[in-house]
Structure 1
Amino acid sequence: MSGLDAPPAAPAEQRLHRWSWLFVLLQQLRQFIVPLVVLLFAGRRGGSEGWWELAPLLGVGALVLVSVLQYFTYRYRVGRDGITIRSGLLQRSQREIPFARIHNVGLHQSLLHRLFGVAEVRLESAGGQKPEAHMRVLGLDDALALERLVRHHGAEAADAAAVDAGGNGQVDADSRTLLALTTAEIVRLGLVSNRGMIVFAAGFGLLWQLFPDERLIARYAEDSFQQAAGYAGELHLGWPGIASAMLAVAGLFVFLLRLLSVALALSQYHGFRLSETQRRLTVERGLFARVRSSVAPRRIQAWFLQETLLHRWFGRRSLRIDTATGGREDDPRKLRELAPIATPGACDALALHLLPGAAWPPAQWRPLPRNAWWRQFAGSVAWNLVVAAALAWQLGAWGLLVLLWLPWSAYAAWRQAGRMGYSVDARLVAVRGGWWSRWWRFAEIDKLQALRLQRSPLDRWLGTASLWMDTAGAGGMSPPLRIRYLPVEEARALYAQLGRTLAARRLRW
């Protein structure tokens, strides 16, 4: 057989980085640190000697052995059409992952990863709760090369899809920056976010778990209040001075929370850059821990624009997406934010660039009937009455003061109903809502997987209905894609219209 007739050599198997066992060990220590500490203190409190004192060391030694064995038994091979992964010592497994199945490539670098020049790689597909492959860890160059390879094959798949759709199938190999956040923009992001409050609440919850005695916490709060009151009495501030001091303390608390939010935003979004290479979006961000995640635009299932009151003060919005990838919705390494903060024009331009041929924002929104506010208000009346009755039973007539919330609730429902609306054209279905905090939710009609017409007992009484629309992987974002409080006949007509459209088109995801 001549050299020309010889079959091509199979690609060689590769191992993880030589320090991968150390990172696996650290991950396992985080999981087993509590049992190891319990063993350590249990042996000391029991006054026993011998193997009880060595139990933590034996446990750590076992974890080291498992980590080293995982390094020697984990192999991967990059082939022409996919990646093959072999793992296991006693129970061996082999997994074939086609490139076409990989929807997202995530690279994560903690501060320790950056010191060793390595990265953690996650290959994710649609629908799964776990990644297709979790490589802990690869050298940074190998991780970037693997990402480029998956991106290249993803571009070929998108090119083939474009040819099938009648396009010319050309791929732009140049990298293009779509959005980069400056330090000033990240500071604005920290000011409009509530990350500081979330961290404060988590810290308070942790203290509550560490000190579950309510009397201890109540006594500490009472002592602090008495000391503050005594100090104020010595200064002879009077009620105006005390009120001013309380406002100053509250203002300082809010200022510290916002300062914490800014620090967290700088840590998480420093160097944020959204780029597009070979029809694949890539986001890089992070000051200490660097996160790099990529996804093909065709995997985007739904879009979410948000504009809170603080956003409007700064003239900004945020743009998030749902993607057809697996993993937990709260995973910080998952690509969800295309524009954590940007001007309204930049958000709209980004959506138009990734949705060529679509009309965004819609030229005309179809509003809900003005009396839809009554349907929204009626849903909150029952809960208000229940809360008022419970407080009146405990506090007497003072509990009925809760009913003063009803006029404000009616006004808020009236304002929100004036903002609610929807738009349906040949390409997009969009919903908008909110008053104090405004939002826009939209998706391509070809990405819709299910329609549901829902009517509660209150809807049947008032003659309204809500239309729910589901896309792949779009369950973690709030609010969901739905058109609420439509007149029942209009809802049924829209349901039938979208149903006929979906039946005549092929699902794209």
Structure 2
Amino acid sequence: MPPAAPDATAQDADRRLHPMSWLFVLAQQLKSFIVPLALMLLFGRGEGHMYQLWGLVGVGVLVALSLWQYFTYRYGIVDDALVVRSGRLERSLRVIPFARIHNVALQQTLLHRVFGVAEVRLESAGGQKPEAEMRVLKLGDALALEVLIRQRGRAVDGAAEESREAAPRPLLTLPLGELVRLGLISNRGMVVVAAAMAALSQFGPEDAVEDYLEKQAEQDLRVAAVWADNHHLGAVDYAIGAAMVLLALIVLVRLLSIALALLQFHGFALSERGRRLTVERGLLARWRTSVPRRRIQSWTLRESLLHRLFRRRSLDVDTAVSAHSQQQRALRELAPIATPDACDALVDHLLPKAGWTALAWRAVPDVAWWRLFLPSLPITLLLTALACWRFGCWGLLVLLWLPVAAFKARQLARRIGYALGEELVAVREGWWSRHWRFAEIDKLQALQLVRTPLDRHFGTATLKLDTAGAGTMAPPLRIRFLPEADARALCQRLAHALAQRPLHW
């Protein structure tokens, strides 16, 4: 159990934030509505809306609140704990033991780097908010606080202390070529396109699309048709033109993806210092986040079709920190892109007793393909009936999807497997996009044996495994389509193993 928090008073919190911290607090508060406000001013149609000037009054109030927070926020160090005091009318005093802090995140935007400061965020397991947010500290003070938490937290946990702080050991870096591959593999450019379309539809001129379709679209089509007739374009030329437009759009999206990959992962470096992993990344905004290795709860290897074309994979982890949607700085991507051998070597290094590369994988029974194919059968028959009602006998062509679905189900079933070692449980699934999901046995928090009506009919069951900090986008850790007897035996084996081991956070 972690030690009790030491006694502390408000006088122990005697350190101020950086003198310019109020500016960054103000920027954070304005961030939620500064973009809609700017778009409204740019694209707004009305004239004489003087009530919009009341927004300046709101900004003035936010400035006053930011200054108030700066003058009333203090922090300090007492023994092996951080003391945070805030508020004047409604006072708050928090004592946070270093052993409770699971993740230390440092952020430097371009503005932070200009002023030589950093934002510090301290996170722990569970909860909806971080333990403490310091916006902002001098960069040297922020790094010193990170080192202090690492040293004191290790000492409290009972780990062997070193006379000197060990130098960080690099585990993975991403050169420019890897970042370009990451941009080509990922689909981050679609995020920019979707955001731009959403902003245009939300804040652009009212009825702009309808006005264009009603007034200008027909004229533009006529001009294009006249141009095509003058150049004697045929069906092949139209097909080539459409293909070139589609290719240009794909290239544009990929270029945006590469640009985003450079912005987010430029200078990516995964390093190890003692028992703590640290990731640094970012071109304009620098992110630095660290977490003890023991806080990693589960692992996910991903391999899409584009990953296989480039002979790459990605490695993500879930850590025992709050899963609140705003905590984007938690360490998740250990290897945004790397070769399969590099990913395996990284797992073997961080889990030396798990024997990741030596696991014996077991396939599920052949009936799994039928279970995967079955949901597409009624949907296809329904769509066939609707197509026949609308198009006659031509609607029967929809039935051609059934052999495709059967082939896909067989390929998916062939890839499903699981492995159980002395220290690790792992599952794998996927065909076009594949993933491997695994966790140390002593990190499991719950076991659940699930049987649906189809499971009871086929004599199968699904074993669900739960860990702390599972990401919402992470694939589930489950073993599907097991024979009931095998599923119960596996569940009992894992339950017995968990009963003999302490739960490790």
TM-based fold match above 0.5: yes
Q: Is 1:440–2:426 an aligned residue pair?
A: no
Which sits farther off after the overlay, 431-440 or 98-107? 431-440
Q: Could you tell me whether the CA contact under 8 Å between 2:39 and 2:203 is conserved in 1?
A: no
1:403 offset after TM fit, Å? 3.6
Q: Letter of the 1:339 partner, please give it.
A: A
Which residue of the partner structure matches residue 254 of structure 2?
258
Q: Does 1:208 align with 2:189?
A: no
Q: Confirm or deny: 8 A CA contact 1:322 1:477 kept in the other structure.
A: no
Greater CA drift, 468-477 or 388-397: 388-397
Residue matched to 2:350: 354
The residue correspondences of 1:469-484 to structure 2 (distance < 5 A) are 469-484=465-480
Q: 1:31 — aligned with what?
A: 32
User: After the TM superposition, which of the residue ranges 211-220 and 123-132 deviates more from structure 2?
Assistant: 211-220
- Map 1:386-405; keep pairs closer than 5 Å: 386-389=382-385, 401-405=397-401
- In structure 1, what is the Cα distance between the partners aligned to 2:119 and 2:420? 42
Shift of 1:379: 2.5
Distance 1:71 1:495, change over 3 A: same
Measured in 2, the distance between the counterparts of 1:148 and 1:222 equals: 66
CA distance in 1, matches of 2:232, 2:417: 56
- Which residue is equivalent to 2:5? none
For residue 473 of structure 1, report the CA deviation from its aligned partner: 0.6
Q: Does 1:186 align with 2:179?
A: yes
Aligned mates of 1:13, 1:334 — CA distance in 2: 28
- What is the rounded CA distance, in whole Å, between the counterparts of 1:434 and 1:300 in structure 2? 24
Partner residue in 2 for 1:20: 21
Deviation at 1:361, TM superposition (A): 2.2
Which residue of structure 2 aligns with residue 326 of structure 1? 322
Q: Which secondary structure state, in structure 2, belongs to the residue aligned with residue 507 of structure 1?
A: coil
**Contact kept in structure 1, 2:99 and 2:154, CA below 8 Å:** no
- In structure 1, what is the equivalent of residue 238 of structure 2? 242
The residue type equivalent to 2:193 in the other structure is F
Partner Cα separation in structure 2 for residue 172 and residue 399 of structure 1:
72
Taking the aligned partners of 1:22 and 1:380, their CA distance within structure 2 comes to 56
- Indicate if the aligned counterparts of 1:130 and 1:327 stay in contact, CA closer than 8 A: no
> Are positions 1:427 and 2:423 aligned together?
yes
Amino acid at match of 1:98: P
2:356 partner SS? coil
Q: Structure 1 pair 115/400, CA: closer, same or farther in 2 (3 Å)?
A: farther
Task: Provide the C-alpha distance between the structure 2 equivalents of 1:485 and 1:397, rounded to a whole number of angstroms.
Answer: 38
Kindly provide the CA deviation profile for residues 244-264 of structure 1, in whole angstroms up to 9, marking residues without a partner as x. Answer: 111111111111111111111
Q: Which of 161, 169, 174 is the matching residue for 2:167?
A: 174
CA distance in 1, matches of 2:405, 2:474: 21
Residue pair 1:468, 1:483 contacting (<8 A) in 2 also: yes
- The answer as to whether partners of 1:99 and 1:154 remain within 8 angstroms in 2 is yes
Offset of residue 202 of structure 1:
2.6
Equivalent position SS for 1:128: coil
Q: Measure the CA separation in 1 of the matches of 2:502 and 2:330.
A: 27
Amino acid at match of 1:427: E
Q: How much has 1:332 moved relative to structure 2?
A: 3.5
How far residue 306 of structure 1 moved from its aligned partner, in angstroms, is 0.8
Post-superposition offset of 1:295: 0.5
Which stretch of structure 1 is more off in the superposition, 70-79 or 469-478? 469-478
Q: Does 1:129 align with 2:128?
A: yes
Note the alpha carbon deviations across 1:307-354, whole angstroms, 9 max, x for none.
Answer: 111111111110000000114357432210000001111111111111
Mark the CA change 1:497 to 1:75 in structure 2 (over 3 Å): closer, same or farther.
Answer: same
Task: Determine which of 375, 382, 392 is the counterpart of 1:379.
Answer: 375
Identity of aligned residues (%): 57
User: Quick one: distance in 2 between partners of 1:392 and 1:36?
Assistant: 52
CA-atom RMSD in angstroms: 3.0
CA distance change for structure 1 residues 24 and 397 in 2, over 3 Å: closer, same or farther?
farther
Q: Could you say what secondary structure the match of 2:284 adopts?
A: coil
SS in 2 for 1:408: helix
Q: Is the 8 A contact 2:80 2:153 kept in 1?
A: no
Unaligned residue ranges in structure 1 (runs of 5+):
1-8
> What letter is aligned with 2:131?
E
Q: C-alpha offsets along residues 90-127 of structure 1, whole Å, 9 cap, x if unaligned?
A: 11111111101100011111111111111111100001
Residues of 2 paired with 1:392 and 1:20: CA distance? 67
TM score, norm. by length of structure 1:
0.89
Please give the secondary structure, in 2, of the residue aligned with 1:361: helix
Within 1, Cα distance between the matches of 2:54 and 2:34?
13
Greater shift, 377-386 or 64-73, is seen at 377-386
8 Å Cα contact 1:459-1:465 kept in structure 2:
yes
Write out aligned runs for 1:17-96 (5 A).
Answer: 17-31=18-32, 33=34, 55-96=54-95
Do 1:106 and 1:294's aligned partners in 2 also have CA atoms closer than 8 Å? yes
Matches within 5 A, 1:490-505: 490-505=486-501
Question: Taking structure 2 as the reference length, what is the TM-score of the superposition?
Answer: 0.89
CA distance in 2, matches of 1:397, 1:137: 69
Query: Displacement of 1:475 after TM fit?
Result: 3.9
Q: Which runs of 5+ in 2 are unaligned?
A: 1-8
Give, in whole Å, the separation in 2 of the partners of 1:108 and 1:222: 51
For the residues of structure 2 that align with 1:473 and 1:125, how far apart are their CA atoms? Answer: 11
Q: Measure, in 2, the Cα distance between the counterparts of 1:125 and 1:155.
A: 15
Change (3 A) 1:240 1:35: closer
Q: Deviations over 1:188-233 (max 9, x none)?
A: 1111111112221232233333467564475577666655444333
Provide the secondary structure at the position in 2 that maps to 1:91.
Answer: coil
**Letter paired with 2:144:** A
- Which secondary structure does the structure 2 equivalent of 1:144 belong to? helix
Is residue 13–residue 84 contact of structure 2 (8 Å, CA) maintained in 1? Answer: no
Shift of 1:402: 3.8
AA partner of residue 24 (structure 1): V
